[in-house]
Amino acid sequence: VDCKYPGTTIAFHVDPGSNPNYFATLIEYTNGDGDLASVDLKQALDTDGWQPMQQSWGAVWKLDGAGSTLLPPFSLRLTSLDSRKTIVATAVIRAGWEPGKTYR
């Protein structure tokens, strides 16, 4: 399901320590119905595969590229813990992303 919900605000604050091999983001989902059960990332050239991210702490989720370069733009799939609803933010972290920046 693409992220096309009027009035829904999701912000992804890219962790300052993120780099081409490691990506972490603080997710601010003010219209959500509770905590997130899972967050998955899809890279630009990977049309089918979602990679599960790990919860680092609080609302920060991370993905270690395990030595390979991650290829933006990144799409993020959020699944709510309570309702199990899923929202996809397609290509929300675009090519040329910068650590410390916020993407909506």
pLDDT tens, position by position, 9-66 = 789 999 999 999 999 999 997 666 678 999 999 998 776 789 999 999 989 999 987 6
Grade residue 1 by pLDDT with cuts at 50, 70 and 90. very low
- Residue 77: its pLDDT value, please? 95
Per-domain residue ranges of the chain: 9-103
Q: For residue 13, give both structure tokens.
A: 């604050």
- Residue 38: its pLDDT value, please? 95
Buried/exposed 24-51: b ≥16 CB within 10 Å, e otherwise: bbbbebeebeeebebbbbbbeeeeeebe
Fold that domain 9-103 belongs to in CATH: Immunoglobulin-like (2.60.40)
pTM of the model as a whole: 0.86
The per-residue pLDDT for range 67-89, each reduced to its tens digit, is: 788 999 999 999 988 888 999 99
